[in-house]
A and B are shown apart, each in its own frame.
Chain A
Amino acid sequence: MTIMRQRVAITAVGCVSPLGHTWDLTWRGICQAKVPIQKISAFDAGDTPASHAYQVSNYDTICEDLEQRGELAKQLVRAHVFAKGAAYDAYRQAGLKPGDYQRNDIAVCLGVGMTSPDFKWMTKHFIPKDFDHEDMRYHNRIIPTEVTKGVAKIFSATGGTTTVHTACASSGQSVGEAFEMIANGERQMVITGGADSMINPFYAAGFLLLGALAKNSKDPKTASRPFDLDRAGFVLGEGACILVLENMETALQRGANIVAEICGYGVTESAYRITDLHPEGQGPIQSMQGALADANMSPDEIGYINAHGTSTPINDRVEALSINRVFSTNPNTAPFVSSTKSMTGHLISAAGAIELAICAEALRQQTLPPTVNLFTKDPLCDLRFTPNEATPFKFKAALSNSVGFGGSNTSLIVKQWEGP
């Protein structure tokens, strides 16, 4: 049975990332191969074995900007502040005019992190079981859907909000779901993306205990080194990326600026283990194949892959194997691959969104983003990389992978926009 689908455009991207407080700054940082890792200041990390992270700098500045817009930023959790900052950036770029859309034709679908309590809250309320304190009036601020509602408010969207949590695959899934909402004709515009900050003592401890984080080294700037032979774990990042998706037809009618077209979404469960990928790539392989089938594309049409590429030994090896099972392994025709987590850190629930946005901008700019700190290629990760510097390249389509604890895998495909 043939299903009629609507075409879906990305018409704006907003971002707050360790590379900057806007999408322009973030993309510029990618092109300059910046590594904005710094000593953790979001909490008192003491002598933690992983004392550096890709933090969003000048956090107070974002809060002040939001307060000037009437937002009560100081009451919000970090992920919410980032989401609002990114949403205002996207809103500005979308150039929406009153009447472009009915409010109930705009939905919001975000991947949001666990937004859990901080150390102070745990010691003040959780341990003494003081849940009748007046502070508890604001307990809803740590509920993830509050972040989604906060973004809906900026766009005056009343077409429903959806909050997704599948760990590191969260915003790959939220963008995929937003794409399907428009493609199936359920909504005309969906504000999507993700927001997260796991730079928190409990999460840092949790990841350390699982052996997933890169530990302190002499040169923290080289700690995140996806696909490098000496990689030893990921480095936490934080931030938010908001994408405006629109029905292509209505986007063109209102004269929107098209960044790229989303045309394929693949989603699978590895159904193997909670943290580990299946050694033979069960899950990611089918996710990439599903996205290609959804886009009605052949593997050789993909010029660039933004890998999940966490810099953990297992993820990068299995992802490389999976990519090689789906795409050409010929060094002259294989798609170029990079992991931009080497420049942003691992944004966890926001990772899929920022990495898809990077694919879309890379297509618009015809520039391949680099993998920084890729000095010695792991022979078990035999891919066609763009190490250490951005490279001009003509290509028409890109794919972004996400993989999450719990087994969810997503692949999203974007096409270059070449005009109506």
Chain B
Amino acid sequence: MKPRVVLTASTYLHKSGNSLSEIMAKASAEHQHDQSDIALQGDPYAQLNDKRLARSIAKDSAFGLVAMRRCMATVGIDYIKHFSPERRAMFVGAQVATTYGNEPYVPAILATKSENGAFDESAFSKFYTKTHPTTLLRGLPNNLLCYGSMEYDLRGANSNYTSMDTSALAALRAGVRSLRSFKSDCAVIGAYSLLSSDEPLQGFFRQIGISAQPNFISNDAVSILFLERAEEIKNDRAALCEVLAIESCSTPQQDIGQTTSQDLEGLLERSLQTAGLQAKDLELIFVSGVGIDAIDHAELTAVKNFCKKFGANPIIATLGYELGYVCEASMMAELQCFVELQSGSKLPSSFLLDKNAPLSSIPKNAAILRASLWGDAGCIIVKECRS
């Protein structure tokens, strides 16, 4: 028997809201959110109230730290003290930004410009001192891991993943593995992606034609989860959901958007097997629905074929239309949406792919399926904890 790993706290920040509850309420048009109050639209350094961090870490990791503080406040500092620092793990799916962290080199590069307007690489060695001494550190992709660990004295197992769309999945998998193997007693799982202001990546999307697809919007999101072993939760804290399986598969082709529906169907089947569930046990399947035709088509075909093959009849939903493409933070909104459903929140009809088939009861199990823009696809199976 493997130990059960459960989610006991979570935070999700997105340009549309400060939590999945807010985002779902807004999507249901039950709540008009004050846009000025949204954390991801503000200045992360001001929210962190730490001027030193403005020099030390780039904006993307700073937003990660904002979200982490919110999540840890929910967990409670006293609660964290139940765990010895060496048993507190942290795993992060981090953005590989091509903007953040490179800006500080610009003054030194500009100084190499000669009278004829050409830049001289060899002259960079004369001007590099114009760069702030900590520039190299500012752009490190593992800054959230570093500063988050320092702030909460997380000295246990850790890693930082730069796997694009499956970064958050890799972090979650590592956290679950660490808890199941008793190498850790609790784990913080972080994931962040600030795509909307990553100009080079936006240029790339335009060049390869993705931006022209009418339903594609790249967006910003940060997610933090807190995991524990179900059997050892202290102080009568509630488990929000159990993570049963985390699987991924890759396509060896180098081109973007190559995940096929067959790959995804196989992935879904393997994930269910790992989770010890039958197809009919799945009441809800989230697909990513990021608005890229090839990906959306592969996901829907896979789910339809899967349902036909096993006679399953789950509700199919997507948060992609609402939240857009959030790369490294992918799959985390769906996971937290499942948690919200457990507390009785309604699944907004705008999330449903078939508007005539609403979710009639609180789902016991769900699959979160994602074809990847970068060649790797993922599937997470979650289970309710109410019973």
Q: Does B223 contact A (CB under 8 A)?
A: no
Query: What chain B residues lie within 8 Å of A273 (beta carbons)?
Result: 150
Nearest chain A CB to B107 CB, angstrom units: 10
Q: Does B266 contact A (CB under 8 A)?
A: yes
Our pick among B134, B170, B183, B374 for the contact of A149 (Cβ within 8 Å) is: B374
Our pick among A43, A146, A157, A209 for the contact of B131 (Cβ within 8 Å) is: A209
Our pick among A142, A184, A274 for the contact of B177 (Cβ within 8 Å) is: A184
A160 touches B250 (CB 8 A): yes
Taking CB as reference atom, which chain A residue is nearest B201? Answer: A139
Q: Does B163 contact A (CB under 8 A)?
A: yes
In the bound assembly, the distance between CA atoms of A43 and B120 in angstroms comes to 11
Residues 102-123 of chain B, each 1 if its beta carbon lies under 8 Å from chain A, else 0: 1001101110000000010111
Query: What chain B residues lie within 8 Å of A120 (beta carbons)?
Result: 121
Q: Does B249 contact A (CB under 8 A)?
A: yes
Q: Does A131 contact B (CB under 8 A)?
A: yes
Our pick among B56, B85, B162 for the contact of A112 (Cβ within 8 Å) is: B162
A167 touches B140 (CB 8 A): yes
A156 touches B142 (CB 8 A): no
Q: Does A240 contact B (CB under 8 A)?
A: no
Q: Does A338 contact B (CB under 8 A)?
A: no
B253 touches A153 (CB 8 A): yes
Query: What chain B residues lie within 8 Å of A286 (beta carbons)?
Result: 86, 155
Q: Does A177 contact B (CB under 8 A)?
A: yes
Q: Does A104 contact B (CB under 8 A)?
A: yes
Q: Does B206 contact A (CB under 8 A)?
A: yes
Nearest chain B CB to A76 CB, angstrom units: 10
Q: Does A398 contact B (CB under 8 A)?
A: no
A141-176 CB contacts (< 8 Å) to partner B: 142-146, 148-150, 152-153, 156-167, 173
Nearest chain B CB to A235 CB, angstrom units: 16
Stretch at the interface among B33-41, B63-71, B90-98, B292-300: B90-98
Stretch at the interface among A59-67, A199-207, A354-362, A366-374: A199-207
Query: What chain B residues lie within 8 Å of A139 (beta carbons)?
Result: 98, 200-201, 203-204, 207
B374 touches A136 (CB 8 A): no
B248 touches A160 (CB 8 A): yes
Count contacts on A: residues with CB < 8 A to the other chain.
87
Taking CB as reference atom, which chain B residue is nearest A271? Answer: B149
Nearest chain A CB to B136 CB, angstrom units: 3
A131 touches B105 (CB 8 A): no
Q: With A45-B125, A116-B102, A132-B203 in contact, do A162 and B164 touch (Cβ < 8 Å)? A: no
Query: What chain A residues lie within 8 Å of B163 (beta carbons)?
Result: 145, 148, 161-163
Query: What chain A residues lie within 8 Å of B201 (beta carbons)?
Result: 139
Query: What chain A residues lie within 8 Å of B131 (beta carbons)?
Result: 205-206, 209
A205 touches B202 (CB 8 A): no
Q: Does A282 contact B (CB under 8 A)?
A: yes
Residues 20-38 of chain A, each 1 if its beta carbon lies under 8 Å from chain B, else 0: 0000000000000000000
Query: What chain A residues lie within 8 Å of B250 (beta carbons)?
Result: 107-108, 149, 152, 157-161
In the bound assembly, the distance between CA atoms of A42 and B232 in angstroms comes to 54
B204 touches A408 (CB 8 A): no
Q: With A153-B253, A166-B158, A210-B136 in contact, do A3 and B181 touch (Cβ < 8 Å)? A: yes
Our pick among A125, A134, A167, A408 for the contact of B200 (Cβ within 8 Å) is: A125
A270 touches B174 (CB 8 A): no
Q: Does B62 contact A (CB under 8 A)?
A: no
In the bound assembly, the distance between CA atoms of A136 and B159 in angstroms comes to 30
Stretch at the interface among A310-318, A325-333, A399-407: A399-407
Nearest chain B CB to A122 CB, angstrom units: 6
Taking CB as reference atom, which chain B residue is nearest A124? Answer: B119
Q: With A136-B207, A144-B96 in contact, do A161 and B109 touch (Cβ < 8 Å)? A: no
Q: Does B208 contact A (CB under 8 A)?
A: yes
In the bound assembly, the distance between CA atoms of A165 and B94 in angstroms comes to 9
Residues 145-174 of chain B, each 1 if its beta carbon lies under 8 Å from chain A, else 0: 111011001111111111110100010001
Q: Does B361 contact A (CB under 8 A)?
A: no
Q: Does B76 contact A (CB under 8 A)?
A: no
In the bound assembly, the distance between CA atoms of A270 and B158 in angstroms comes to 11
Nearest chain A CB to B154 CB, angstrom units: 6
Q: With A136-B207, A143-B164, A177-B174 in contact, do A271 and B155 touch (Cβ < 8 Å)? A: yes
Q: With A149-B375, A153-B254, A159-B250 in contact, do A269 and B156 touch (Cβ < 8 Å)? A: yes
B190-204 CB contacts (< 8 Å) to partner A: 199-204
Nearest chain B CB to A407 CB, angstrom units: 5
Taking CB as reference atom, which chain B residue is nearest A186? Answer: B177
Q: Does A196 contact B (CB under 8 A)?
A: no
Q: With A104-B266, A129-B199, A205-B124 in contact, do A145 and B146 touch (Cβ < 8 Å)? A: no
A406 touches B123 (CB 8 A): no
Nearest chain B CB to A378 CB, angstrom units: 26
Q: Does B129 contact A (CB under 8 A)?
A: yes
Nearest chain B CB to A175 CB, angstrom units: 12
Our pick among B90, B136, B181, B203 for the contact of A180 (Cβ within 8 Å) is: B181
Residues 247-279 of chain A, each 1 if its beta carbon lies under 8 Å from chain B, else 0: 000000000000000000001111111110000
Q: Which of B126, B136, B183, B207 has the most CB of A within 10 A?
A: B136
In the bound assembly, the distance between CA atoms of A108 and B141 in angstroms comes to 20
In the bound assembly, the distance between CA atoms of A78 and B252 in angstroms comes to 20
Query: What chain B residues lie within 8 Å of A43 (beta carbons)?
Result: 121
Nearest chain A CB to B336 CB, angstrom units: 23
Query: What chain B residues lie within 8 Å of A150 (beta carbons)?
Result: 254
B residues neighboring A (CB under 8 Å) = 3, 56, 85-86, 90, 94, 96, 98, 102, 105-106, 108-110, 119, 121-126, 128-129, 131-137, 139-143, 145-147, 149-150, 153-164, 166, 170, 174, 177, 180-183, 199-204, 206-208, 247-254, 256, 263, 266, 270, 374-376
Across the A-B interface, the 5 shortest Cβ-Cβ residue pairs: A206-B136, A131-B203, A46-B122, A160-B248, A205-B128
CB pairs A–B below 8 angstroms (22 shown): A1-B182, A3-B180, A3-B181, A44-B122, A114-B140, A116-B139, A119-B121, A126-B102, A126-B106, A131-B206, A143-B164, A149-B375, A161-B166, A162-B161, A162-B163, A162-B248, A163-B162, A205-B105, A209-B135, A274-B147, A408-B142, A408-B145
List 20 additional A-B contacts (Cβ < 8 Å) besides A160-B376, A269-B149, A405-B140: A47-B122, A114-B141, A132-B206, A134-B207, A136-B200, A142-B98, A144-B162, A149-B374, A158-B252, A158-B263, A165-B94, A180-B177, A201-B128, A202-B136, A205-B124, A269-B145, A269-B158, A274-B56, A407-B146, A407-B150
